[in-house]
Amino acid sequence: MPQNKGPFYMTTAIAYTSGKPHIGNTYEIVLADSIARFRRQEGYDVFFQTGTDEHGQKIELKAEEAGITPKEFVDNVSTEIKRIWDLMDTSYDKFIRTTDDYHEKQVQKIFKKLYDQGDIYKGSYEGMYCTPCESFWTESQLVDGKCPDCGREVKPAKEEAYFFKMSKYANRLIEHINTHPEFIQPVSRKNEMMNNFLLPGLQDLCVSRTSFKWGIPVDFDDKHVVYVWLDALTNYITGIGYDADGNSSEQYKKFWPADLHLIGKDIIRFHTIYWPIFLMALGEPLPKQVFGHPWLLQNDGKMSKSKGNVIYADDLVDMFGVDAVRYFVLHEMPFENDGVISWELIVERMNSDLANTLGNLVNRTIAMSNKYFGGVVNKTGVTSEGAGVDENGASLDFDADLKAVVTGTRDKVQNKMATLHVADAMTDVFALFKRCNKYIDETMPWALAKDESKKERLEEVLYNLVESITIGANLLKAFMPNTTDSILKQLYPDNPAAGDRDFDDLDKFGLRESGNKVTDKPEILFARLDIEEVMKKVEELQEAQRKANGVPEYPVVEKKPEITFDDFEKIQIQVGEVLKCEPVKKAKKLLCSQIRIGEEVRQIVSGISQYYKPEEMVGKKVAVVTNLAPRKICGVESQGMILAAMDDKNNLSVMTVDKDIIAGSEIG
């Protein structure tokens, strides 16, 4: 076992119980799990906490709409969230709920302590309130009159409330951030907090409400409930045994301060300004690091229940399997910028990275071991050492090169994980598997098998492959634990634990004992998928989702103000014949068409490349708005607009004429 490196406490943001989490919400728990598993592998004593945030006005309203009590509502949603977290094979040590009795009692104690020491005072609030975000805003903070966080409508609100004196601790927090550059990551998030909130000056924070009841009561003033952020944020300490009376548990003393709070970038302000200030007021150490991860976005626009295109983790798992989904969300998310998810991209990664690079490598290696040596893997010492170089000067010592890549991967992965570059760490692991595939091409085992004198060399080649895959599988464990188990069971069928290496040994080559067999019944790790078959299932899934959400069969179109015939006469629509069409460089969605309209040829840019290939447009006679003022789109001038229709299912069709009408004819 690796040497014990001490305690490591990490948390996710607790999921809000307003509804079933989509894949963007689920990404965070999988990311956190990969970090927790890796730290355990390194030798840390990890405590990994997650859970659900269950109070607030939005919950109260949703419960009322559902005709049940708020507690019944959050019980149902919290159970569903936990089911998804468990489905994704996440190894959390504690799942906290903010309706847990011990948490509620500690929040009341914390509130009273802060009140008694003068950090909380009673006043009244008047401002703009965003119910979805549970946030008050001043007029100056609004963006286009809407909530600066979520972009939704806000309403005037006025009520008696308790406030926390944020400004009292602002300078101390600024000093901490300046002297602890690792505290807020990535750096861009730190700059945002400093420049937009701390340096301009903090306003006192509303920490109680009277306009709804679904919250933790202020025990010395029962008209008030504790405002959601003071309630929710304190879970990070109450969950491990903090006690405001000074009787905190041994577990709390062992694990606090947290090593890592992993949260979405949208709530970075609450975790890097409000939370550390609360802790300062309580006299507790600040967490060592807060990482605001980017978002996982859908490539064809915002997820919407009305479109039926919300992607849920359990649907993905049904189609691809747990580890394939874990691979995708971890590998496709950059360190700082938002990632993109689509069904098509998942299939592409499934087929290329998982089925081909990894699955085919394991299957070929096992198959060759069985075919040539009855599954027995032996180390013979007949290497490619001294093979010289080829005509291009490249080394022909394939064994040495393979071993250098394999034994050097652990440290590369460890360095990336130390800075939370998880996607890059996974890329390094798959670079190892790609090097193994290249090694097969270089050594050509099928050719060695034809020459009896090279039998021992063939054995060495297969030994090197099995040993390399073993090390790679162990490095994959934090990201795809089930896949690691499956690989080791096939490479070490008599004793899978023999392939389970200590982290400290993952830079050593040759630990597998000679004479052990691989399985004689290899299993396919990942099957290749047909994109058309997958998309048929996706359409069925989305249709079921629309029906479940009560979406009408026909599109609901917002009615525009009535216009007169004279208004309509101002629009000129003509038949245009597409002569040429090509993609717009550096623009994924745009096509640029040359369209004949009477005697002239117009250039028109349209966002239709997801629905039409350029060659499909050529020859079509389309409806074109021809008296629209020209404009530049991605640097290309567009001299009109092709008319098209789109339904709620994201189907798009350009408007064409059904007879051979001369280009330039007016449509009216």
Whether 133 has a binding-site annotation, put simply, is yes
CA distance 400 to 440: 14
Residue with tokens 């008047």: 126
Structure tokens at 460: 């060495």
Residue with tokens 């098998």: 449
DSSP alpha helix (H) spans, 444-559: 445-448, 455-476, 481-491, 531-548
Whether 237 and 258 have beta carbons less than 8 Å apart is answered as no
Whether 492 and 369 have beta carbons less than 8 Å apart is answered as no
Whether 150 has a binding-site annotation, put simply, is yes
Whether 147 has a binding-site annotation, put simply, is yes
The phi-psi region of residue 638 (left if phi > 0; otherwise alpha if psi is between -120 and 50; otherwise beta) is beta
CA distance 26 to 597: 51
Whether 137 and 127 have beta carbons less than 8 Å apart is answered as yes
CA distance 290 to 272: 7
Whether 573 and 625 have beta carbons less than 8 Å apart is answered as yes
| Residue 91 CB coordination number (10 Å) | 15
Q: What are phi and psi of 446, to 5 degrees?
A: -60, -30
> Rg of the chain over CA atoms, in angstroms?
30
DSSP code for 452: G
Q: What is the distance of C-alpha 256 from the center of its chain?
A: 27
Tell me the torsion sign for CA atoms 380, 386, 391, 393.
positive
* 638-640-644-646 Cα dihedral, nearest 10 degrees: 60
Q: What are phi and psi of 250, to 5 degrees?
A: -65, -35
> Which among 569, 578, 560 has a CA at the least distance from the CA of 668?
569
Binding residues for Zn(2+): 130, 133, 147, 150
Binding residues: 130, 133, 147, 150
